[in-house]
Structure 1
Amino acid sequence: MMHTKSSLKRRNFIGNISKASLLGVMSAGNATTLIKDVNELSARPAEGHIFLAQPYLQAPSENSMSIMWITNKLCYSWVEYGEGDQLNQKAHEIKDGLVNAYNRVNAVRLNNLKPNTTYSYRVVSKEILEFQPYKLVYGITITSDTRTFTTVTPKANEVSWLIMNDIHDRPQSIPHLMKLNGNTPYDYVFFNGDIFDYQTDEKQIIDHMLTPCLESFAGHKPFLFVRGNHETRGKYSRELADYFTSPSGKYYYAYQWGPVYSIVLDTGEDKPDDAPVYAGIVDFDSYRKEQAAWLEKEMQTPAFKRAPFRVVMMHIPHFYSGDWHGTLHCRELFAPLFDKYKVDMVISGHTHKFGVFAPEKGKHNYPIVIGGGPKDGNRTLIKVTANQQQLSLKMLKDDGSEVGNYMVKRK
């Protein structure tokens, strides 16, 4: 079960409880973390009971979908959903016999869905005014608009997705780049890191990513996300994971959609762990080694080996991004595995210079694609489509012009 962190205002109701007891549960299997002051999270209780972020779709599969949303009051929340235009089923999250409640950041996983089926859904949040051991008092209930989503088609013959990277706290770039796709169908959106400059608070996450995504697509099309090096920075970086889910519950994961088996790696920081700016509180070398061990096991699975195409998405490219520590460590750990297990393409960002680099013997046996950003004239939208015979990539600059393409034939 996924579970969400309770965001509570300590001095209003916790009193003199020791800090060790102020533990809230994070979403998507992440580690336990201290509860944050509700004012820090910009919950704005004076505005009445409202959604700070309407429901957005995460971690799609053939028989499940995660729905996340944020309220400004502590609530008991659930999802109403059903096939077609029905809303005849209800789902909430349960952890160890307790239904998740008295929280604001919600993640509800809808399970046992039918593949390739359209569902309607809406979310409901009931304010909790008073939560005593033997007395619970509810307040105002709010309900979102009804939206729809479609589950993944098993063994689909085709898949298409859009990739953005290096937005760097320019929220207007998200709808602008999405418009470049026009009316071309797509299955999901992938954010390949550095959507923010650094992590400050919840309001930044809502205003600079969730809201523009919701205005563009996220209520009816899912998105997936991986950190860039800038998402590891700032006082709120350790809470960022509360607002997203993935197939693994981690920042690195794998999934297959149609003919493409995708590997997502979290490349961490670009400087050494002992760089003074990190003040001794990072350990990305160990984290990348952990991913390399996981990666080789993943690449040995029958599903990976059988997939018509194998694509890696990670923020820092292991070539063409200088000789900083992060680049070289990724090259050391990941490049031999990419060659050994014959990946078909690596898609990255980070350098702010878009480019398509064909395979180079003795260096990398697959194309490396790097998206641009974040300034006007250098922002890019990457469009990937694949069927059983070929995988095609096209990169558009923010004026709509094509600035790169590559096609891989099935081997």
Structure 2
Amino acid sequence: MQLRLAYAGPTGMMVSWNTQAKLEQPTVHWGTSPHRLNHKSTSNVSVTYPTSSTYNNHVKIEGLRPNQLYYYQPKHIQSGEVYSFRTSRPVSIYEPFKTAVVVDLGTMGKDGLTTHVGAGAANPLKPGETNTIQSINSAKNDFDFLWHVGDIAYADYWLKEEIQGFLPNTTIAEGAEVYERILNEFYTEMSAITATRPYMVGPGNHEANCDNGGTTDSVHNITYTVGICMPGQTNFTGYRNHFRMPSTESGGLGNFWYSFNHGMAHFIQLDTETDLGHGYISPDEPGGSEAEDSGPFASYMNQQTNWLQKDLAAVDRRKTPWIIVGGHRPWYISAKNKSSTICLECKDVFEPLFLQYSVDLVLSGHVHAYERNAPMYNYEVDPADLNNPKYPWYITNGAAGHYDGLDSLTRPFQGYSRYAQDTAYGWSQLTFHNATHLTHDFIASGNGSLLDTATLYKEHKTTCE
């Protein structure tokens, strides 16, 4: 069933789920009581793609009240269970809330991160260790929604896992089924969270195609490229079919860039994988090192950055003081300075707008480790640090966990680094206390301990409600 939710504007909720057969009219029954689902919303969106084993059904429920608890049930589910969701919070500078953030979170269990790995991989789970999906699920009553800023499921690792002896070998053609199986396993695992908490997602490089940007079998001296991918497993096809993010409501584009308000914060999801614009020849391949063979998706040059500027300019900071941006690839990170790791093109096109419109926090991943940096601009650290800085605060947390484990950060850490670690799986929690204080926590998935915490103070000028 793979049930998942997504905000669809202040008075809407997108309900998505998968079925083995096409539905002529996907239907969701809903209401304010679990015993009286007396409303019905329908659509004609039941879509699939070549090699997919399921149909993705999407129904938007509209006309809801903000911050209201509703109960719902898709029509074609076997369990008969009634689920619930709460709509987004209205604009308010007074109501505190929390949200969870992950990047680089992949499949857990027999086809992903577990207590053993194949030859050449590292960082398996310890026996009995809680994985990130389990950790977030145990804490879901504490946060309003889950934000996944790229690299979802890691189904494109299927060939690497076979080469390393972690999964049984198949033919390249049969690999298409393995890829889809891993996707289905991941979304099924996530349903424990995403059936009751909106799941907001962004594109990462591992959504692009079936082959991890290229995979090498060193024993047999074979390098595989995107050319092995079956129809339907290139160009972000699964990602584009599986989700319906609020791009229509925010003037964005598909599941690639969009924004939404939630209480005292404005959240922006950016696309660091395609459509960077500004004259870059291969915006779908930052640095030109990863053969993603994907995009562009925009209708014209600079469409994403033009949208970003318009979106930022429209935020009324007197009522919505916080602006939080998520984009998969970092540009400030204690890692080797190579194009597949550090996205200088992203820095060039996005950073000036972040400064111009006083973005508060920028979240990224891609590097499978955790690093909290100082607020900064163009490699210059804000002298105020977290005490009312003028520059955006940068945090990279790609340590959520998947089959390939963690990356090693480069030591000594960069001068702008304030805390970094590359030995534990974990996820981020944001706490919006009020119009001036925001706390970021890095939580260890294995035992729920707090590995790092920091609070940002900003003198936002707000108006009374």
Shorter-normalised TM range: 0.7 to 0.9
CA offset at residue 142 of structure 1? 4.8
Provide the rounded CA distance (Å) in 1 between the counterparts of 2:144 and 2:4. 15
| TM-score, length basis structure 1 | 0.73
CA deviation map 1:38-96 (0-9, x unaligned)? xxxxxxxxxxxxxxx24321225431111111111222331111122321111111xxx
The amino acid across from 2:435 in the alignment is: Q
Q: Is the 8 A contact 2:56 2:242 kept in 1?
A: yes
Corresponding residue to 1:79 among 14, 24, 28: 28
CA offset at residue 246 of structure 1? 0.9
* Change in CA separation of 1:203 and 1:183 when aligned onto 2, cut-off 3 Å: closer
Task: Spell out the pairing of 1:296-315 with structure 2 (5 A cutoff).
Answer: 296-303=309-316, 306-315=319-328
2:57 aligned residue: 106
CA offset at residue 274 of structure 1? 5.6
After superposing on structure 2, the runs of 4+ consecutive aligned residues of structure 1 that deviate more than 6 Å are 284-288
Task: Spell out the pairing of 1:360-399 with structure 2 (5 A cutoff).
Answer: 360=376, 362-363=378-379, 365-373=391-399, 374=401, 375=405, 377-386=423-432, 387-399=434-446
The 3-state SS of whatever aligns with 1:251 is coil
The amino acid across from 1:382 in the alignment is: S
Provide the rounded CA distance (Å) in 2 between the counterparts of 1:288 and 1:351. 28
Q: Is the 8 A contact 1:356 1:368 kept in 2?
A: yes
Corresponding residue to 1:162 among 74, 89, 100: 100
Corresponding residue to 1:91 among 38, 41, 44: 41
Q: Is the 8 A contact 1:84 1:119 kept in 2?
A: yes
The amino acid across from 2:39 in the alignment is: Q
* Change in CA separation of 1:255 and 1:294 when aligned onto 2, cut-off 3 Å: same
Q: Is the 8 A contact 2:287 2:339 kept in 1?
A: no
CA offset at residue 282 of structure 1? 4.6
- Fraction of identical pairs, as percent: 23
Provide the rounded CA distance (Å) in 2 between the counterparts of 1:111 and 1:367. 35
Corresponding residue to 1:324 among 318, 339, 351: 339
The amino acid across from 2:199 in the alignment is: F
Corresponding residue to 1:404 among 452, 456, 459: 452
* Change in CA separation of 1:63 and 1:266 when aligned onto 2, cut-off 3 Å: same
How many residues align? The count is 335
CA deviation map 1:128-166 (0-9, x unaligned)? xxxxxxxxxxxxx85641111121231242231101111
CA offset at residue 232 of structure 1? 1.3
* Structure with larger RCO (C-alpha < 8 A, sep 6+): 2
* Change in CA separation of 1:88 and 1:349 when aligned onto 2, cut-off 3 Å: same
Unaligned runs of 5+ in 2: 49-54, 114-130, 157-175, 211-228, 248-253, 275-283, 381-390, 407-422, 460-465
1:218 aligned residue: 194
| TM-score, length basis structure 2 | 0.65
2:134 aligned residue: 176
Corresponding residue to 1:120 among 47, 53, 71: 71
* Change in CA separation of 1:102 and 1:68 when aligned onto 2, cut-off 3 Å: closer
* Change in CA separation of 1:379 and 1:317 when aligned onto 2, cut-off 3 Å: same
The amino acid across from 1:90 in the alignment is: K
CA deviation map 1:173-192 (0-9, x unaligned)? 4423315x647621000111
1:345 aligned residue: 361
The 3-state SS of whatever aligns with 2:241 is helix
1:257 aligned residue: 262
CA offset at residue 362 of structure 1? 4.9
The 3-state SS of whatever aligns with 1:266 is coil
Q: Is the 8 A contact 1:189 1:223 kept in 2?
A: yes
Q: Is the 8 A contact 1:253 1:265 kept in 2?
A: yes
CA offset at residue 253 of structure 1? 0.7
Q: Is the 8 A contact 1:261 1:310 kept in 2?
A: yes
Corresponding residue to 2:142 among 167, 185, 207: 185
What is the root-mean-square deviation of aligned Cα atoms in Å? Answer: 2.9
The amino acid across from 1:170 in the alignment is: M
Q: Is the 8 A contact 2:149 2:328 kept in 1?
A: yes
1:18 aligned residue: none
The amino acid across from 1:124 in the alignment is: K
* Change in CA separation of 1:260 and 1:195 when aligned onto 2, cut-off 3 Å: same
1:147 aligned residue: 83
CA offset at residue 330 of structure 1? 0.2
Q: Is the 8 A contact 1:194 1:230 kept in 2?
A: yes
